[in-house]
């Protein structure tokens, strides 16, 4: 089979240039650092290095202009660029691959790519966080019911919700930064898998490519794709966070809830039901989480059981990691637009607030402050809620006599803790939704995100 031209199917089956051309500029940057190092240790003359560097720069320019012709029969991005160099410089171009293999080359390119991708995604996370923090001022007066089990639980400031999303996103950002710190080692020069007999300077290359240091074991580092897994995991968790937020806002935008109006220009109508405004962008954010989790799964299974060192399976790592970053970046930008443009329906929210006994916990804690053991207080408030709901009134509308039937020591102080606004304002503990706590957290976020 290989004695003749490889047949078309095999070329198509083995090629990666259709997707790994996204590594092209990182590949060139890497080659330029490699050339500089080869010259510094005497494996190239300064003149040779200058000519190689210049030709690589020309190729980079062609790629940036979209004029470079990637050829499938040259298999991958590395061979395409090397061939272009040979076409320009002849034998001098054939020296570039000294003390290097595509195995360490692709590992290096992908680390460079992921490192940049992480920074870009982290910036987009920051934009979404800023959109939430801007809403905190805008929605400062708004109290929302918060839920557990999707059952009305306690009142919180809308701002408390917005900052909850910020906290989640912050952990996502930190996970990506953490992955970046760990991937910041340079595999270049580990060659095929054992290193090289040539007198290369791996520390210099690492420094030129702004890596922390060279990787320490050639066998490990040509096989290692942990960094790809870590990126994909951090992105999958981020996608799950976005999907939870999207679901929450989809629910809030229903006619039944009516808390939220989504920006019209981001929604679509129905072709047959003229009254409908569908929250498609949110549904797609929720849906795309499946894809990002799928990318993580693909990568996990891809590396399962691979013996050291490089195996061609690893070529399949690129589409899922590229797709995970691309998908998340789109989701983050759409989410930022939705968050910036949505409106809370303050009246509708306020109308429903006194239903659902959101102040029940505040009443229980009032009893506790009067010396009632928590379990007892819980029981009594449960009885009072039943009584009130039989009459179809909020707790604040029960007579003092009725409180006393359940809790003999009740005094008129109960009316100072009942009602959603008073229940909310009485929250005090660190990290709670009490206005003073939330105000401090908003300040913290503004400082952290450089907003003031």
What residues make contact with ligand ARG under the rule CB under 6 A?
A: 16, 20, 76, 102-103, 106, 310, 312, 314-315
Q: 194 or 393, CB closer to ligand ARG?
A: 194
Q: Please give the Cα distance from 328 to 295 (Å, whole number).
A: 12
Q: Please give the Cα distance from 390 to 18 (Å, whole number).
A: 68
Q: The dihedral of CA 371, 373, 378, 383: what is its sign?
A: negative
Q: 26 or 172, CB closer to ligand ARG?
A: 26
54 is catalytic: no
- What is the smallest separation between the CB atom of 86 and ligand ARG, expressed in angstroms? 18
Choose, from 18, 54, 120, 270, the residue flagged as catalytic.
270
- What is the smallest separation between the CB atom of 17 and ligand ARG, expressed in angstroms? 8
Q: 44 or 74, CB closer to ligand ARG?
A: 74
- What is the smallest separation between the CB atom of 316 and ligand ARG, expressed in angstroms? 8
Q: 102 or 288, CB closer to ligand ARG?
A: 102
78 is catalytic: no
**261-275 b/e (C-beta count within 10 Å ≥ 16 → b):** bbeeebbeeeeeeee
Beta-carbon count within 10 A of 132 CB: 23
Q: Please give the Cα distance from 128 to 346 (Å, whole number).
A: 23
Count the alpha carbons within 13 Å of 182 in the hemisphere toward its beta carbon.
14
Phi, psi dihedral angles at 357 (to 5 degrees): 55, 45
Q: Please give the Cα distance from 111 to 104 (Å, whole number).
A: 11
Q: 293 or 302, CB closer to ligand ARG?
A: 302
- What is the smallest separation between the CB atom of 153 and ligand ARG, expressed in angstroms? 51
Q: 14 or 443, CB closer to ligand ARG?
A: 14
**Residue 68, burial from CB neighbour count under 10 angstroms (0-12, 13-18, 19+):** middle
Count the alpha carbons within 13 Å of 421 in the hemisphere toward its beta carbon.
6
Under DSSP, the state recorded for 198 is S
Q: Please give the Cα distance from 39 to 46 (Å, whole number).
A: 6
Q: 31 or 433, CB closer to ligand ARG?
A: 31
Under DSSP, the state recorded for 163 is H
Whole-Å CA distances, 428 to 373, 422, 437, 438:
20, 12, 7, 10
- What is the smallest separation between the CB atom of 30 and ligand ARG, expressed in angstroms? 13
- What is the smallest separation between the CB atom of 103 and ligand ARG, expressed in angstroms? 5
Helix (H, G, I), strand (E, B) or coil at 146: strand
Q: What is the full DSSP assignment across 255-283? A: TTT--EE--GGGSB--SS-TT--B-HHHH
Q: 83 or 177, CB closer to ligand ARG?
A: 83
Phi, psi dihedral angles at 344 (to 5 degrees): -80, 140
Task: Give the DSSP H or E segment for 155.
Answer: strand 151-157
- What is the smallest separation between the CB atom of 186 and ligand ARG, expressed in angstroms? 17
Structure tokens at 282: 């949110």
Choose, from 149, 271, 412, 429, the residue flagged as catalytic.
149
- What is the smallest separation between the CB atom of 180 and ligand ARG, expressed in angstroms? 21
Residue listed under structure tokens 């706590």? 437
Q: Please give the Cα distance from 92 to 87 (Å, whole number).
A: 10
Catalytic residue set: 149, 270
């Amino acid at each position: 089979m290989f004695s003749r031209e490889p047949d078309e199917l095999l070329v198509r089956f083995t090629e990666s240039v259709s997707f790994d051309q996204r590594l092209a500029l990182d590949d060139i940057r890497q080659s330029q650092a490699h050339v500089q190092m080869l010259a510094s240790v005497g494996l190239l003359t300064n003149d040779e290095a200058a000519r190689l560097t210049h030709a690589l720069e020309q190729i980079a320019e062609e790629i940036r202009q979209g004029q470079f012709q990637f050829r499938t029969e040259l298999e991958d991005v590395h061979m395409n660029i090397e061939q272009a160099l040979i076409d320009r410089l002849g034998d001098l171009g054939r020296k570039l691959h000294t003390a290097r293999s595509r195995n360490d080359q692709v590992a290096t390119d992908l680390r460079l790519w992921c490192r940049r991708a992480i920074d870009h995604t982290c910036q987009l996370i920051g934009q979404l966080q800023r959109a939430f923090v801007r809403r905190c001022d805008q929605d400062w007066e708004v109290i929302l019911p918060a839920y557990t089990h999707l059952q009305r639980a306690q009142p919180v400031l809308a701002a408390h919700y917005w900052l909850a999303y910020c906290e989640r996103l912050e952990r996502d950002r930190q996970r990506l930064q953490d992955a970046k710190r760990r991937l910041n080692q340079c595999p270049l020069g580990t060659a095929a898998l054992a290193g090289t007999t040539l007198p290369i300077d791996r520390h210099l290359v690492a420094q030129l490519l702004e890596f922390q240091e060279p990787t320490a074991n050639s066998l490990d580092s040509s096989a290692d794709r942990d960094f790809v897994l870590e990126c994909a995991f951090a992105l999958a968790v981020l996608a799950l966070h976005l999907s939870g937020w999207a679901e929450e806002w989809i629910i809030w935008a229903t006619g039944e809830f009516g808390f939220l109006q989504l920006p019209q220009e981001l929604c679509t109508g129905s072709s047959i039901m003229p009254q409908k405004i569908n929250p498609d962008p949110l549904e797609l954010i929720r849906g795309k989480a499946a894809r990002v989790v799928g990318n993580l799964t693909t990568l996990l299974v891809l590396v399962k059981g691979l013996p050291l060192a490089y195996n061609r399976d690893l070529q399949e790592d690129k589409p899922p990691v590229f797709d995970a970053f691309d998908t998340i970046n789109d989701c983050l930008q759409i989410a930022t637009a939705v968050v910036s443009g949505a409106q809370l329906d303050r009246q509708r929210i306020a109308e429903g607030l006194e239903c659902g006994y959101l102040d029940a916990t505040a009443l229980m804690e009032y009893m506790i402050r009067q010396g009632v053991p928590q379990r007892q207080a819980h029981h009594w408030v449960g009885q009072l809620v039943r009584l009130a709901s039989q009459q179809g009134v909020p707790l604040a509308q029960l007579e003092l006599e009725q409180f006393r039937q359940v809790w003999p020591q009740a005094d008129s102080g109960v009316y100072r803790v009942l009602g959603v606004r008073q229940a909310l304002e009485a929250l005090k503990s660190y990290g709670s939704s009490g206005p003073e706590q939330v105000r401090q957290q908003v300040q913290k976020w503004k400082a952290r995100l450089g907003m003031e």
